[in-house]
Amino acid sequence: MSNRIVYGNFQNKHTPPASLNYQVGISDKYADSITSSSYSTTEYPNHTVKQNRNYQVGIVLSDKFGRQSTTILSNNQSTQLVNGFGADTVYSPYRKTTDTVAPAWPGESLKVLFNETIDSNSPAIVSRALGTPGLYNSDKTNANYNPLGWYSYKIVVKQQEQDYYNVYLPGVMKGNPDATSVGGDLSNIVLINDNINKVPRDLNEVGPQQTQFRSSVQLFGRVENDTIATSNVGNIQFYPGRFSDTVSIIQDMRGLFDDSTTIAPGVKLNGFYNAKSNPLIGQVITTASFGVLADTSSPYDTLENLAIFETEPEVSRLDIYWETSTSGLISDLNTAVATDTGGVQTTNAFTFSLNEGEASGTTVAGPFYGEDIVGARINNARIDVNPVNNKWSVTNNPGTNLTSRFTLVESGAGTAQSPYAYTLETNDTFIMG
């Protein structure tokens, strides 16, 4: 045993909890004035979560000596519709035409909602047999003194959809230059310079004389040219859906359209950028109409206004969770989870009373208002009173919807001096029987 360091009772890792009860959502970054804000709107004003990506959020626990757990995922599969939180994996879609745009849009961020406190095990016990360390407790006078328990946490994120390209194009032609296939499901793009590599031809299993190819790269439209005439405002933002566009054919321009005519303003192929060089043309089968129709009369103007496609990202095979800057003490998190109000949890002063002798316009419930989980009134808790938006309803015992016979009336201004309150009034008379 001489000249050796001997470790006794050494443990390099703990048994982590099998899962935790939390949910993940994606939404606009909180304003700095919001209590739960991380000030990311000011600190990272130009940052946002990538669109058309899947994110999985996990938790890593650590004791005070740096021994860390593996990534712990959520056991919660429900969806909290009020705030849009779901399970530990969430999809970030492309934005829609109805969404707020920059500069008013602050960008989006991932958010984690903890529904329960973090315990070492369920129940939270220190078990040498199971290898569960319990939670950290530095008070030597306390019966639960535990310097080896879980001390801190950090949030980690897995996002495997990695590298992608922006394909910058000198305009996109909707349909063909001879005005065929203009129904909206075919567009032609000019592949020049590095676009040839961004949208490559599939060269597997091809013949020696083959001149027409396809591409396995999937595309999503991002910026659409909307005019033929060259202009610095000749394009608009395009909002793609979940489905991608397919490059079905790639071939040189003259071979694709079987036209060997010398390029001149009076030739239809002149609509393609740099047509004299006989560039490669990609025919794209689109899920939505994209680009502009070619000029229909001579001389045929060339499409030159910028258009942009985004390629489908490469999916990494590495199962890696990346550390984020969101971390802290488990004791602080558990205190916050145990005391956080979590928004409106219930209503107060809602008592429904309706007699058949009452006239139309009678108040039958309220004024009532929203309260948080600890019973405090939330002054700015608001309900969309328009029945068309289906944010509230009235049904009888058999389940018949009677919303059209009532009106929800809002009062107040959402301030501490004038909080929101609501009354339910009839706009009809009723006969009980």
Kindly report, residue by residue over 103-148, the tens digit of the pLDDT: 788 889 998 988 888 876 543 455 666 778 888 988 888 877 888 8
Nearest to 15 by CA among 123, 118, 114, 128: 128
**Does the residue 116 lie in any domain?**
yes
Is residue 433 included in any domain, yes or no?
no
Q: Using pLDDT thresholds of 50, 70 and 90, give the confidence band for residue 2.
A: low
- 81 pLDDT above the threshold of 50: no
Beta strands 245-252 and 346-348, pairing class: unpaired
Q: Do 369 and 230 belong to one domain?
A: no
Confidence of residue 82 (pLDDT cuts 50, 70, 90): very low
pLDDT at residue 343 in the model: 65
Asked if residue 367 and residue 259 are part of one domain, the reply reads no
Residues of the chain with pLDDT > 90: what percent?
A: 41
Final residue belonging to a domain, choices 325, 340, 355: 340
What pLDDT does residue 134 have?
A: 84
Domain end, chosen from 290, 322, 340, is at 340
Judged against a pLDDT cut of 80, whether residue 8 lies above it is answered with no
What three-state secondary structure class fits 58? strand
Residues 156 and 18 in one domain: yes
Specify the pLDDT at position 372. 65
pLDDT of residue 382: 84
CB 279 within 8 A of CB 270: no
Q: Is residue 432 part of a domain?
A: no
Q: β-strand 218-225 against 235-237: which pairing, if any?
A: antiparallel
Total domains in the chain come to 3
**Do 45 and 115 lie in a common domain?**
yes
Pair 32, 154 in one domain: yes
Phi, psi of 32 (to 5 degrees): -60, -25
Do 243 and 331 have their domain in common?
no
CA-CA distance, 26 to 84, in Å (whole number)? Answer: 8
Nearest to 94 by CA among 52, 50, 46, 49: 52
| pLDDT, tens only, 44-53 | 888 899 999 9
Instruction: Give a yes or no: residue 291 inside a domain.
Output: yes
Whether residue 9 lies inside any domain: the answer is yes
407 belongs to a structural domain: yes
Mean pLDDT score across all residues of the chain: 86
Q: How far does the chain reach from its first CA to its final CA, in angstroms? A: 95
Top pLDDT among 42 and 287 is at 287
Residues paired with 109 in a beta bridge: 27
* For residues 229-244, average pLDDT: 90
Instruction: Tell me which residue of 214, 215, 259, 234 sits closest to 172, measured CA to CA.
Output: 234
Q: Do residues 162 and 55 touch, judged by C-beta distance below 8 A?
A: no
98 and 55 within one domain: yes
Highest mean pLDDT, choosing among 9-13, 239-243, 337-341, 394-398? 239-243
Top-confidence range, 122-131, 235-244, 372-381: 235-244
Q: Compute CA distances 29 → 40, 210, 362, whole Å.
A: 7, 52, 42
Q: 239 and 95 in contact (C-beta within 8 Å)?
A: yes
Is 149 found in the same domain as 191? no
Same domain, yes or no: 384 and 285? no
Other C-beta atoms within 10 Å of 100: how many? 10
What's the average model confidence in pLDDT over 152-173?
95
Question: Which helix (H) or strand (E) segment is 339 a member of?
Answer: helix 330-339
Mean pLDDT value across residues 258-269: 92
Please tell me the distance from the alpha carbon of residue 188 to that of residue 174, in angstroms, as a whole number: 6
Residue 247, pLDDT score: 95
Taking alpha carbons only, the member of 235, 219, 238 closest to residue 227 is 235
Does residue 273 lie in a domain region? yes
pLDDT score of 389: 84
Across 143-168, average pLDDT? 92
| Closest by Cα among 29, 33, 30 to 48 | 29
In this prediction, residue 361 carries a pLDDT of 85
Task: Quote the CA–CA distance of 192 and 168 in Å, as a whole number.
Answer: 10
- Residue 364: CB atoms within 10 A of its CB come to 17
Indicate whether 137 and 14 sit together in one domain. Answer: yes
Amino acid at site 311 = T
Question: Please, is 188 exposed, middle or buried when counting C-beta atoms within 10 Å of its C-beta (0-12, 13-18, 19+)?
Answer: buried
Domain that holds residue 356: 346-426
Looking at residue 123, its pLDDT comes to 38
Could you tell me if residue 431 is inside a domain?
no
User: If you average pLDDT over residues 64-68, what whole number do you get?
Assistant: 91
- Whether residues 3 and 151 fall in one domain: yes
pLDDT for res 124: 44
**Same domain as 306, residue 187:** yes
- Residue closest to 276 by CA, chosen among 268, 266, 288, 264: 264
